[in-house]
């Protein structure tokens, strides 16, 4: 790796600030004669924060979910419908002063993956799931925003069905299952992030909805990267660790509340 790229990684504000904080803690341990509970708690929190921010840990956490539906799993030969789960939208103001809703990055990734499958399978119907999380938020909801984007990508409007009343994964699948039954689809493909598939598929099983799965954005180790990048903290890896922990909490809560 070029020297510039190495320096850029070490100069990243997120990593740099964690490094400075770590050095401060080391000085505290060396100079303090009485290492009280406060110093121990802060040190533990820093270590946990740092570990959750490195690829070695974030990818390991991701594998606990992604390995349940490996990327190499073969797709079905035929598909007549694709369910796409929403992952958030962002309201913004256009040049004309009007509110325009755009896809979050996660929603965009799912739409791009669904678009590839749509073209691969000779244009099956698309079921787009997701409402406004907060009704007072201006602009359109998840399903409508995904529809607008896909139409811009030349997906025929008549191929799109909206499920725009659900606010979480359980409701996504419950409402989509009703639409699948109504339209009498036989070969259904589910699209969401790889780490989100286990919870979504458990919800499908609860609703007696038979689907094949196609996850996107797998985070398995990229073997071409230098080894030392596995221990350099990044905000993206912390965010990924946070997403995985959120999923496990979600799965646990769904089980306790009888949704799975």
Q: Is there a domain that residue 74 lies in? A: no
- pLDDT (tens, 9 = 90+) of the chain, 260 residues, equals 566 666 777 778 888 888 889 988 888 888 877 778 888 899 999 999 999 999 999 999 999 999 999 988 899 999 999 999 999 998 776 667 677 889 999 999 999 999 999 999 989 999 999 998 776 667 788 999 999 999 999 999 999 999 999 999 999 999 999 999 999 999 999 999 999 999 999 999 999 999 999 999 998 765 566 777 888 899 999 999 999 999 999 999 999 999 98
Q: Is 88 left (phi over 0), alpha (psi -120 to 50) or beta?
A: left
On whether both 208 and 120 belong to a single domain, the answer is: yes
3-state helix, strand, coil in the chain (%, to 5): 55, 15, 35
Q: Is there a domain that residue 73 lies in? A: no
On whether both 172 and 85 belong to a single domain, the answer is: yes
Tell me which residue range forms the domain holding 42: 3-66+227-249
Q: Is there a domain that residue 75 lies in? A: no
Query: How many CA atoms does the CB half-sphere of 175 hold within 13 Å?
Result: 20
On whether both 115 and 201 belong to a single domain, the answer is: yes
Annotate 176-242 with DSSP letters as a single string.
HHHHHHHHT-SSEEEEEEGGGHHHHHHHHHHTT---EEEEE------TTS-GGGGGS--HHHHHHHH
CATH number at residue 190: 3.40.50.620
CB 199, CB 250: distance < 8 Å: yes
Domain tally, the chain: 2
On whether both 94 and 192 belong to a single domain, the answer is: yes
On whether both 158 and 95 belong to a single domain, the answer is: yes
On whether both 204 and 234 belong to a single domain, the answer is: no
On whether both 88 and 177 belong to a single domain, the answer is: yes
């Amino acid at each position: 790796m070029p020297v510039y790229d190495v320096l850029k990684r070490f100069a990243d504000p997120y990593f740099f600030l964690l490094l400075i904080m770590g050095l401060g803690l080391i000085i505290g341990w060396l100079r303090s004669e009485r290492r009280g509970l406060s110093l121990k708690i802060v040190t533990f929190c820093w270590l946990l924060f740092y570990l959750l921010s490195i690829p070695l840990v974030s990818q390991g956490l991701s594998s606990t979910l992604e390995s349940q539906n490996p990327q190499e799993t073969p797709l079905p030969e035929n598909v007549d419908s694709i369910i796409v789960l929403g992952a958030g939208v962002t309201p913004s103001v256009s040049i004309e002063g009007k509110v325009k809703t755009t896809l979050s990055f996660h929603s965009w990734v799912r739409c791009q993956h669904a678009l590839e499958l749509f073209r691969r399978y000779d244009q099956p119907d698309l079921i787009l799931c997701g409402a406004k999380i907060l009704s007072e938020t201006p602009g359109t909801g998840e399903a409508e925003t995904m529809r607008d984007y896909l139409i811009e990508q030349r997906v025929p409007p008549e191929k799109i069905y909206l499920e725009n009343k659900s606010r979480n994964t359980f409701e996504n699948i419950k409402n989509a299952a009703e639409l699948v039954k109504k339209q009498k689809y036989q070969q259904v493909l589910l699209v969401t992030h790889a780490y989100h598939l286990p919870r979504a598929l458990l919800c499908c099983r609860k609703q007696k909805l038979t689907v094949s799965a196609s996850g996107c954005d797998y985070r398995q180790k990229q073997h071409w990267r230098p080894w030392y990048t596995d221990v350099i903290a990044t905000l993206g890896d912390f965010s990924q660790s946070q997403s995985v922990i959120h999923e496990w909490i979600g799965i646990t809560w769904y089980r306790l509340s009888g949704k799975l």
